[in-house]
Amino acid sequence: MNYNTCFHLLSFLFIQCSIVSLAMTVQNLNSDQFPLFEFNDRIVDPQNVLANNWTNSTSICKWVGVSCGIIHERVVALNLTNMNLRSTIPPHLGNLSFLFSLDLSNNNFYGHLPNELGQLHRLRTIRLSYNRLNGEIPSWLANLHRVQRLEMKNNNFTGTIPQTLVNISNLEILNLEFNQLSGQVPSSIFNISSLKRIHFRDNSLSGGLPNDLCVHLPKLKELYLNRNELSSFIPSSIDKCCNLQILELSINQFSGIIPKSIGNLTQLKQLYLGLNNLEGQTEEIDNLFGLEMLSIQAIKGLTGQIPKEIGNLLGLELLSIQAIKGLTGQISTSIFNISSLKTIALSSCNNPICPGPCK
Ligand SMILES: *[C@@H]1O[C@H](CO)[C@@H](O)[C@H](O)[C@H]1NC(C)=O
Ligand SMILES: *[C@@H]1O[C@H](CO)[C@@H](O)[C@H](O)[C@H]1NC(C)=O
Ligand SMILES: *[C@@H]1O[C@H](CO)[C@@H](O)[C@H](O)[C@H]1NC(C)=O
Ligand SMILES: *[C@@H]1O[C@H](CO)[C@@H](O)[C@H](O)[C@H]1NC(C)=O
Ligand SMILES: *[C@@H]1O[C@H](CO)[C@@H](O)[C@H](O)[C@H]1NC(C)=O
Ligand SMILES: *[C@@H]1O[C@H](CO)[C@@H](O)[C@H](O)[C@H]1NC(C)=O
Ligand SMILES: *[C@@H]1O[C@H](CO)[C@@H](O)[C@H](O)[C@H]1NC(C)=O
Ligand SMILES: *[C@@H]1O[C@H](CO)[C@@H](O)[C@H](O)[C@H]1NC(C)=O
Ligand SMILES: *[C@@H]1O[C@H](CO)[C@@H](O)[C@H](O)[C@H]1NC(C)=O
């Protein structure tokens, strides 16, 4: 074989190879193109964002909101936030089998989540906040083991939080706030040890928290449970969440004493316990030198005196105290030593139940 023949053979192989790989690319693109076309066909797009951009003349990888992987050119992310899109979520998205990230937040998607999304095993991010989705939070979400971020706030989801979510064992952010969820928070949720943020505020959740709250949540930084109907006591195991920065429990029906272990949460920046039925001394709070926001309510333990130790909290920006029996005594002048303080809200009401914010 002379040099020339060899060269021709090589270029022949190279061309064959290129044709094969081109064919694969086209096939792959087509397989993701179909669900995207179907999606586009089914949504109302009043601003024509997609109509003017998702055209056959350009590769889907160049379409607005679509990102493809470098090697396989499959759709890995779909980000259609803030486009005023309106429809139910088309089931065809379940065929975008390489999807890592789905962000449809800030639109007008309504109706139930289609079961087909449960096929998207590669998903790591699901963001559907600020839509009008309703129905129950589907238990098949638990099949998506790799999800790290599940954000579905400001929708109309009803029913209970499925306990199967515990199977999403890499979950870091779980945001279901501003929905209409009810029933008890399944204790299995507090077993997802990867969780960093739990946001359940503004629902109708009821019942108590598990005694071992925080025992399995070493990474938790934010716990928002305010504006629900939660009752019973604050578990003293709360200090096992040693990285906790925000603890928001206000406007519930928690009762009993504020656990002293709260004083061990040295990372805490925001502590909201107000408008519950809590009692107890608040001395422990004075160890929380990092506190910036503090809202407490007292029925018995605090008789209206602002404890002078609060003057030690030199980073405090907001201090809100609601005293059921009325504020009496002197306002400790130590709080005027807190140069960071921007807001002081002192209120009182004589009704021991105190249903809403005290006047
Ligand atoms: C774009 O391609 C799809 C799928 O091949 C086809 O169904 C559709 O009619 C095409 N649209 C236009 C405007 O050519
Ligand atoms: C679609 O949008 C992308 C990103 O904004 C842009 O680069 C591209 O030129 C647009 N294509 C068409 C056909 O308008
Ligand atoms: C989607 O795009 C918006 C706006 O560009 C951005 O803020 C958001 O972080 C993106 N979502 C994801 C999951 O990357
Ligand atoms: C998903 O793909 C399969 C196989 O290509 C097809 O049979 C099915 O109709 C597709 N489903 C949707 C909802 O597009
Ligand atoms: C949620 O549902 C209620 C009652 O079904 C309805 O009044 C409300 O407008 C809905 N909210 C949204 C954001 O769709
Ligand atoms: C959750 O995980 C357990 C143990 O791995 C398994 O038995 C169960 O079927 C899973 N449930 C769901 C809904 O994935
Ligand atoms: C939480 O995990 C602990 C230890 O792994 C286990 O004993 C307990 O049963 C789990 N609780 C729930 C509700 O899954
Ligand atoms: C704070 O933690 C230490 C060490 O774990 C423990 O000995 C102490 O009792 C805790 N304080 C409170 C008030 O729980
Ligand atoms: C305010 O701070 C000054 C200087 O650190 C200190 O001398 C004084 O005792 C403090 N006042 C109160 C009421 O804590």
Ligand nearest to the CA of 307: 9
Going by C-alpha positions, the residue among 211, 172, 174 that lies closest to residue 193 is: 172
Our mutation pick for probing the ligand 7 site, out of 163, 188, 213, counting the most ligand atoms within 8 A of Cβ, is 188
Ligand nearest to the CA of 109: 5
Q: Of all protein residues, whose CA lies closest to atom 2 belonging to ligand 9? A: 337
What's the Cα-to-Cα distance from 150 to each of 94, 125, 129, 172, rounded to whole Å? 17, 6, 9, 8
Ligand nearest to the CA of 332: 9
Q: What is the 61 CA–ligand 2 centroid distance (Å)? A: 10
The number of the ligand 8 atom at minimal distance from the alpha carbon of 260 is 13
Say what the pLDDT of residue 21 is.
41
Count how many residues are written for the chain: 359
Q: How confident is the model at residue 331 (pLDDT cuts 50, 70, 90)?
A: low
Q: In a 3-state reduction of DSSP, which class is residue 4?
A: helix
pLDDT in tens, 45-91: 999 999 999 998 899 999 999 999 988 889 999 999 999 999 999 99
For residues 97 and 304, the model is more confident at 97
Q: Is the pLDDT of residue 24 over 60?
A: no
Binding pocket residue ranges, ligand 6, CB within 6 Å: 139, 142-143, 164, 167
Q: How many CB atoms lie within 10 A of CB 148?
A: 15
Q: How confident is the model at residue 353 (pLDDT cuts 50, 70, 90)?
A: very low
Six-digit token pair at 91? 């089931």
Which 8-state DSSP code applies to residue 147? Answer: -
Q: How confident is the model at residue 1 (pLDDT cuts 50, 70, 90)?
A: very low
In the block, tokens 């501003």 appear at 178
Cα separation, 186 vs 165, whole angstroms: 9
The helix (H) or strand (E) run that includes residue 22 is helix 3-42
pLDDT in tens, 165-205: 999 999 999 999 999 999 999 999 999 999 999 999 999 99
Q: What is the 221 CA–ligand 8 centroid distance (Å)? A: 19
pLDDT in tens, 231-254: 999 999 999 999 999 999 999 999
pLDDT in tens, 124-146: 999 999 999 999 999 999 999 99
Cα separation, 281 vs 258, whole angstroms: 7
Going by C-alpha positions, the residue among 252, 240, 194, 180 that lies closest to residue 215 is: 240
Ligand nearest to the CA of 283: 8
Q: How confident is the model at residue 329 (pLDDT cuts 50, 70, 90)?
A: low
Say what the pLDDT of residue 274 is.
85
The number of the ligand 3 atom at minimal distance from the alpha carbon of 125 is 13
| Mean pLDDT to the nearest integer, 20-29 | 45
* Beta bridge partner(s), residue 295: 272, 320
Find the angle CA(100)-CA(104)-CA(108) to the nearest 5 degrees. 160
Cβ atoms of 220 and 248 closer than 8 Å: no
pLDDT in tens, 85-123: 999 999 999 999 999 999 999 999 999 999 999 999 999
Which 8-state DSSP code applies to residue 81? Answer: T
Cα separation, 253 vs 238, whole angstroms: 17
Q: How many CB atoms lie within 10 A of CB 306?
A: 22
Cα separation, 141 vs 168, whole angstroms: 8
Domains of the chain, residue spans: 1-128
Backbone angles phi, psi at 195, to 5 degrees: -65, 135
Our mutation pick for probing the ligand 4 site, out of 28, 92, 98, counting the most ligand atoms within 8 A of Cβ, is 92
Q: Is the pLDDT of residue 20 over 80?
A: no
pLDDT in tens, 308-317: 677 788 888 8
Say what the pLDDT of residue 56 is.
87
* Beta bridge partner(s), residue 103: 79, 127
Cα separation, 179 vs 165, whole angstroms: 17
CATH superfamily of 1-128: Ribonuclease Inhibitor (3.80.10.10)
The number of the ligand 5 atom at minimal distance from the alpha carbon of 132 is 14
Instruction: Compute the mean pLDDT over every residue in the chain, rounded to the nearest whole number.
Output: 85
Please tell me if the CB atom of residue 187 comes closer than 6 angstroms to any atom of ligand 7. yes
Our mutation pick for probing the ligand 2 site, out of 55, 60, 64, counting the most ligand atoms within 8 A of Cβ, is 64
Cα separation, 61 vs 25, whole angstroms: 12
Cα separation, 296 vs 323, whole angstroms: 9
Cα separation, 29 vs 21, whole angstroms: 12
Region of 89 on the Ramachandran plot (φ > 0 left; ψ -120 to 50 alpha; else beta): beta
Q: Of all protein residues, whose CA lies closest to atom 7 belonging to ligand 9? A: 337
Say what the pLDDT of residue 219 is.
97
Cα separation, 334 vs 318, whole angstroms: 15
The number of the ligand 5 atom at minimal distance from the alpha carbon of 131 is 13
Region of 329 on the Ramachandran plot (φ > 0 left; ψ -120 to 50 alpha; else beta): left
Query: In terms of DSSP bridges, do strands 66-68 and 75-79 run parallel, antiparallel, or are they unpaired?
Result: antiparallel
Cα separation, 260 vs 275, whole angstroms: 19
Percent of the chain having pLDDT more than 90?
Answer: 62
Q: What is the 215 CA–ligand 7 centroid distance (Å)? A: 10
- Sign of torsion, CA 264 267 271 276? negative
